[in-house]
Amino acid sequence: MLMTLIQKEVMHHILSVRFVALLVMCLLLVPLTLSTNYRNYRQNLVDYQEAVKLANIEETTVNPKMPPQPEVEVSKLFFKPTPLSVFAKGLEDSLPSYLGMTRNGITQGPPSTFSAPLSQLLGHLDFLFVVGTVFSLLALLFTFDAVAGEKEAGTLRINLANPLPRDLFLWSKLIGGYFVFVVPFLVSFLLGLLVLVWQGFPLGEPNIFPRVLSLTAISLLYIGVFFAIGTVISTYLDNSKTALIVAFTVWVFAVLITPRIGFLTAKIISPTRTSQSVYMEKTAMRDNFDAELKDQKMKFFMEVPPNKDGARIIGPEIAKKIDERMKSIEEEYRLKFQNRANKLDRDYKRETERQEQLGETFSRITPTSSLIYLTTNLTQTGKVERSNYFQTGDRYYEMLHADFFTKISDHISHRVHRPEDNVKITQPPRLATTNLGEIFSQSVIDVLLLCFFAVILTTVAFLKFFRSDI
């Protein structure tokens, strides 16, 4: 009996206008967005390679005895685009194109959007947008009248007057509609993958294929959640027009408004400084320390007894003694600066992490946020990849600090540039890649939430339908 009901439901959807709209959306949007974004990725990769080539870090040498200015970038760690960004751009265009290493700390280069800001006003059109926004709306359009339409037409009373269990009736609605929905989606996604492979996308790589499969499974689960939402609305209302209005309103809040309100609320509850203000504060701190060191050195100069004419002549031996006395003082000031700079960085990191955690927690009220977090982490364009990028930058700065910055002295009286004193700049480390198991362990809350939404909403729909007076 269940299969007969499912077949009836499948035929009902296939012959409807909404199925034609779904088919057109799938065949146009999915392959087109994947193909277009892959071309953008290849252009970004070329830009990255050119930037690394122009930086010429491998050949960079600096003389510690002729130190650069504190704000000069002696090296850069560039962000390499990932091929998985064809599915979700995520944070990739918002991240700094490079992290510059200076004596005052780490500076951030302009993001990728800096060269084309107008194109970002309309947002990204990628696979994540298609699934999270377009297909969620289509899923509600497939289910808003699943029960309400039957009630309004009077066919529900006729069907249940026969020996037809209510659970089989509702299961047929869910399974039949979901089957009709996901088949065009999967076919179009497969077509899009074939187009990508034809263009040169490395789908067969061990770090990419499992992520694409996981992305497919998460998308199907997310679509199932909105099928459950639409079914709940349909069981609670008797009029299909009212159900459509309520379904659209729920979609607007769930997809467009609530995820953004979460972070706006977090900014109000837990405000924080900007990274540029922290860098400027460290720059001012170094300038103050340099001024104090200059004053101290001037005191040593004033201790030199004047000659008969009242002039203080600083010979090589006296200058050497003054430099020796300055070494311990300079080391003390360097440690003070480093300790205070580290405290500033820790405080700023703690503030931003707290604000971000609050925003994430508030935004997870809706399944769309969980989809976004999961998808961007799977495609290496989310929070995990951003953390890896900045942690690698911190590690690289520590390497440069140990190999080069600690060898610099700003208060040597006599400087002589000798080629043998040149130090080759330490090469930037490679960005770490989080494996799939670690991704799911860090995103387990989002997986559980999607499953929770799907199970709870389906249960609510069945309980309401069982208790409904037909």
DSSP for residue 70: T
How many angstroms separate the CA atoms of 196 and 21, rounded?
A: 24
Helix (H) or strand (E) holding 101: strand 98-102
Mean pLDDT for the stretch of residues 124-142 = 91
What is the reported pLDDT for 34? 94
Overall average pLDDT of the 38-49 stretch: 91
3-state secondary structure of 106: strand
Give the pLDDT score at 9.
85
Interacting residues of 72 by C-beta distance below 8 A, sequence separation 6+: 102, 103
Average pLDDT, the chain: 84
Residue 109 above 90 pLDDT? no
Q: Which two tokens stand for residue 401?
A: 């600090």
| Highest-scoring range by mean pLDDT, 150-154, 313-317, 350-354 | 350-354
Quote the longest CA-to-CA distance of the chain.
123
For 357-388, how does the pLDDT look when each residue is reduced to its tens digit (9 = 90+)?
898 888 899 999 999 999 999 999 988 898 89
- pLDDT at residue 378, rounded to an integer: 93
pLDDT at residue 455 greater than cutoff 80: yes
> pLDDT value at position 149?
84
312-342 pLDDT tens trace: 666 677 777 777 777 777 778 878 887 888 8
Question: Angle between the 444-467 and 209-236 helix axes, to the nearest 10 degrees?
Answer: 30
Residue 399 pLDDT level (bands cut at 50, 70, 90): confident
Flag whether pLDDT at 56 surpasses 60: yes
For the cut 60, the answer to whether the pLDDT of residue 4 exceeds it is yes
Residue that is written with structure tokens 């510690």 in the block? 64
Taking residues 155-165, report their average pLDDT: 76
